[in-house]
Chain A
Amino acid sequence: MTIFNFWLFVPLFCLCCGLLAFVGKRKHLLNVLLSLEFIMVNIFWFMAQAFGHLGSDLYFVLFFLTLAACEGALALALLVSIVRSHGSDNFGSFNVLSC
C-alpha cells in the first residue's frame, strides 16, 4: 500500500465515531444529520489525503464534496418537512408503524 500513511487513521477513526453517533443518538434527528455530515467530511479528508499522495486527479474530491453538500441540503429539507408534519424532531414522535 504505497499511499498508506499513518495519518490516515485519524479520518478513519473519526468516520467510525461518526457512524456510532449516527446509530447511537436517540433523541434528535438534527444530531443524526449532523453525524451524517461529519461522516461525509471525514471521508472527504480521507479521500483528499489519499489522492494527494497519488499526485494526480485530485479534482475527484470536488465531485464528492458537491454531492455531500447536496445531501446536506436534502437532509435539511427532510428535517424541515418532518418537523412540519410531526411537530418536533423527536424520534419518539415518529415511529415506524404509524403514518
Chain B
Amino acid sequence: MNLSSMVFLLLVSICSLITSLNLLSSGCCYFMDWELISINSASVEMALIIDWMSMMFMSFVCFISSMVLFYSGGYMSGDYNIGRFMYLVLGFVLSMLLLIISPNMISILLGWDGLGLVSYALVIYYQNEKSAGAGMLTALSNRVGDVAILLSISLMLSLGGWNFYFYVGEESLNSSYVVFLVVLAAMTKSAQIPFSAWLPAAMAAPTPVSALVHSSTLVTAGVYLLIRFHSSLMTSFASTLLLLLGCLTMFMAGLGANFETDLKKIIALSTLSQLGVMITILSLGWATLAFFHLLTHALFKALLFMCAGSIIHSVGDYQDIRMMGGLVNFMPISVVCINLANLALCGFPFLAGFYSKDLILEVAFLNPLNEICFWLLALATGLTVCYSFRLVYYSLSGDYNLSSVSFVSDSETLMTWPMLGLSIGAVVGGSAVSWLVFPSPTMICLTLSMKLLALVVSLVGGFIGYVLNLMVENYKLNSLQFYPVVVFSGSMWFMPLLSTIGISRGVLAGGFVYTQLGDGGWSEYYGGQGIYSTLMKSSGYLQAIQENSIKTYLIILLIWLVGLLLII
C-alpha cells in the first residue's frame, strides 16, 4: 500500500510542479467556483484556486508525503494497525491539499479542521497516556484557531462573500477584525508564542507523522494562510504583533533546543524556530520570501525527521541523545543525510537553506527594524547552528554511549531510499526554487559588518555548540551552576506548564468535586433515582388503595342506581 500511494503522490507532485512552472511563466491564475447557496446576495461557494503558489506548495507537499509514506512502510513495518496509519496519513494529505487550493474562508475550514482532526488521530496513534495528553493538547490548541476562523466567517458575511482572495488589501477587509482573527488562527496552527506548547508535545506521534505533519505541512498551514492575507496584514497592527511574537518564538525555541535531550524534541524546537523566522519575514512584508523559506524548510526538515527516525529505529526505539553516539561508524547513509539536513538548516552555502535563510537575514537587516528584533534574529541564527552542532556531537561523532549489545545499521532500504530522494531535494531545492520564484535578484546594500554578521554568528555558534558540549564521564556538569537559567530556557520559558497545569488543575479538581457531590449525589436525588423511587412508592400506595374486592364496586354501583331511581 505504501508503494502505490507513493507512486500516486509522486505523479501528482510532478504534475502540479509542471503546472506551477506553466503558471509562473504565463502569470495566469485559474479560479473555479461552484455556488452552493446564495442568501440575500451573500453567496456560499466551493472554490478552487490554481495559481503558481498553490501548485508549487501542492507539489512539495505531495513529494514529501510520497517519500514519507514510502518511508513509513519501512518504519512502521510489523505494526498491527499499519493500514489505519496509511489511511490517516492519506487523509491528512487530502486535508492539506484542500486547504492549499481554497481561496474561500468556508472551504478552507474543510482543510483546516480536517488537519486538526487528522493530526489528533495521528498523535494518539500509539495508545498510551502520554500520547493521549499530547493529542489533547494538539487538538485543543488547534481548536482555538478553528474557532477564530469560524468567527471570521461570521464577520465576513458583511463583505458579501467569503472569497478572501479577492478581498485582501481592500479597505472593507482591513477595517474589520477578520485580520486579527486570521492572525490568531495562524498563530495557533503555527505554534507561535502563546500557543507553542503543543509542538514539542506532539512528538509523541510516530516519526513519519512528525516528518510529514509537524515539520512541513500542518505547521506551515498557518504561515500559508498569512501569506494569502499579507496585503491586509501590512496595513494593520497585526504586523507589529506578528514581528515581535515571531522573533520571540524564534529565539525561545532556539534557546530551548540547546538544553533539550530528546532527539525529536530538538527537531521540533528547530521547526518552531524556523516558523518564527517565516512569521518574522512575513510581518516585515516579504510574503514571497516567507513562502520560499516555507518550501525549502519543508524539504530539509522532513529529511531531518526521517533520519532521526532511522536512528531511533536502529538504537532500539529510545530517543535520548545522551544514549547515542558514534553512529557515523555504523550508519553511513543516515549520517550523510542528517549531515545534509543539518547543514541546510544552518544555511551552509549553496544548499537549500542558504538561499532562503541568507536572503531573509539580509532583507531583514535592510528593513527599518527595531533593535530587539535585530538582536533576536542574529542570536537565533547563531543558536540554530549551535544546537545543530550539539546534535551532531551527541548523536553522530561523540563517544559510543549505547548498550554493549546493539544492532545499529542502515539495512532498511525502505527507509534509506526516501531519505536519499529528499536529500536531492535538500541540495538542489533551494537554488531551483529561487531561480523560479525570484526572476530578478534583489539589490542588497549593507555594511560589511552586517553582511558578515550572519556568517560570523553561524561560525561562532557552531564552535560554541560543539565545544561547549564535549563531555567525558568525569567532567563536572557546569549547567548545575546556572540551574535556574537552564531550567527556564530548557522548558520553553514555562509556557507549556502555565498554559496546561495553570488552566486544567483547578478545573479538573472542580470536576471531581462535581462528580462526587452532584453527579453521584444531589443530581441523582432530584433527578433520575429520586424520581424513580418517588414514583414507585406513590404507585405502591395507589395499588394498595385499589386492592379491593369487586363486590365493593358492585355495591357502590347498586347504591348509585337505586339513588338515581329514587331521585328520578
Could you tell me which A residues sit within 8 Å of B by CB distance? Answer: 19-20, 22-26, 91-92, 95-97
When the two chains form their complex, are residues B543 and A91 in contact, meaning their CB atoms are under 8 A apart? no
Known: A24-B555, A91-B550, A96-B550. 5 other contacts (CB 8 A): A23-B555, A23-B557, A23-B558, A26-B551, A95-B548
Whole-angstrom distance between the alpha carbons of A91 and B547 in the complex?
Answer: 12
The residue on B at minimum CB distance from A19 is B558
When the two chains form their complex, are residues A95 and B551 in contact, meaning their CB atoms are under 8 A apart? no
The residue on B at minimum CB distance from A20 is B558
CB distance from A90 to the nearest CB of B (A): 10
CB distance from B538 to the nearest CB of A (A): 16
When the two chains form their complex, are residues B554 and A95 in contact, meaning their CB atoms are under 8 A apart? no
When the two chains form their complex, are residues B551 and A25 in contact, meaning their CB atoms are under 8 A apart? yes
Could you tell me which B residues sit within 8 Å of A by CB distance? Answer: 543, 546-551, 553-555, 557-558
CB distance from A92 to the nearest CB of B (A): 7
Whole-angstrom distance between the alpha carbons of A38 and B558 in the complex?
Answer: 17
When the two chains form their complex, are residues A26 and B543 in contact, meaning their CB atoms are under 8 A apart? no
CB distance from B544 to the nearest CB of A (A): 10
CB distance from B541 to the nearest CB of A (A): 13
Q: Which of B543, B546, B547, B554 contacts A22 (CB 8 A)?
A: B554
When the two chains form their complex, are residues B550 and A97 in contact, meaning their CB atoms are under 8 A apart? no
Report chain B residues within 8 Å CB of A19.
558
CB distance from A24 to the nearest CB of B (A): 7
Whole-angstrom distance between the alpha carbons of A92 and B543 in the complex?
Answer: 15
Whole-angstrom distance between the alpha carbons of A37 and B235 in the complex?
Answer: 107
When the two chains form their complex, are residues B549 and A92 in contact, meaning their CB atoms are under 8 A apart? yes
Report chain B residues within 8 Å CB of A23.
551, 554-555, 557-558
Report chain A residues within 8 Å CB of B543.
97
CB distance from A89 to the nearest CB of B (A): 12
Report chain A residues within 8 Å CB of B558.
19-20, 23
When the two chains form their complex, are residues A26 and B547 in contact, meaning their CB atoms are under 8 A apart? no
When the two chains form their complex, are residues B546 and A26 in contact, meaning their CB atoms are under 8 A apart? no
When the two chains form their complex, are residues B549 and A26 in contact, meaning their CB atoms are under 8 A apart? yes
Whole-angstrom distance between the alpha carbons of A24 and B562 in the complex?
Answer: 14
Whole-angstrom distance between the alpha carbons of A32 and B547 in the complex?
Answer: 20
Whole-angstrom distance between the alpha carbons of A25 and B554 in the complex?
Answer: 10
The residue on A at minimum CB distance from B551 is A26
CB distance from B147 to the nearest CB of A (A): 58
Q: Which of A20, A24, A95 contacts B547 (CB 8 A)?
A: A95
Q: List 8 A-B contacts (CB under 8 A).
A: A24-B551, A24-B555, A26-B549, A91-B550, A95-B548, A96-B547, A96-B548, A97-B543
Report chain A residues within 8 Å CB of B548.
95-96
Considering the complex of A and B, which 4 residue pairs feature the smallest CB-CB distances, nearest first? A23-B554, A23-B558, A23-B555, A91-B549
CB distance from A30 to the nearest CB of B (A): 14
CB distance from B161 to the nearest CB of A (A): 69
When the two chains form their complex, are residues B549 and A97 in contact, meaning their CB atoms are under 8 A apart? no
Report chain B residues within 8 Å CB of A26.
549, 551
